[in-house]
């Protein structure tokens, strides 16, 4: 039996299989956040994400935000000015080492 919701997506939301996830490395990468956090279902689990656009290439990606270091930084940015939204904010993202579990470093551009 097919789930009737399995093919539904909303503009800017949903699990669009054409959008890959952003792989963050040790070099800062500037992205614009296009959505507030939402949840997608991939690899048999739900995961919190935001949609982002790489400023240099204009390619859109899904950014997984379940990492504590990334989530805390984004929450500080989201609540800083009282707006409560991440949409339109440009940030530089990188990890502090090549380790898979390295902490994220985030700064507003």
Give the separation between CA 66 and CA 96, rounded to whole angstroms: 17
Measured CA distances, 55 to 20, 46, 47, 65, 101 (Å):
16, 27, 24, 19, 25
* Residue ranges per structural domain of the chain: 29-108
Question: Which pLDDT score is estimated for 80?
Answer: 86
> 29-108 belongs to which CATH class?
mainly beta
Give the separation between CA 98 and CA 101, rounded to whole angstroms: 8
pTM of the model: 0.82
How large a percentage of the chain has pLDDT more than 70? 84
Question: Which pLDDT score is estimated for 1?
Answer: 38
């Amino acid at each position: 039996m097919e789930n009737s919701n399995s093919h539904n997506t909303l503009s800017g939301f949903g699990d669009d299989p054409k959008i890959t996830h952003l792989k963050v490395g040790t070099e800062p990468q500037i992205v614009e956040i296009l959505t507030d956090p939402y949840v997608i279902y991939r690899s048999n689990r739900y995961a919190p994400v935001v949609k982002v656009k790489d400023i240099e290439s204009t390619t859109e990606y899904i950014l997984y935000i379940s990492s504590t270091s990334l989530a805390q930084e984004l929450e500080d940015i989201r609540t800083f000015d009282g707006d409560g939204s991440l949409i339109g904010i440009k940030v530089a993202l990188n990890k502090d080492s090549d380790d898979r579990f390295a902490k994220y470093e985030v700064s507003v551009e």
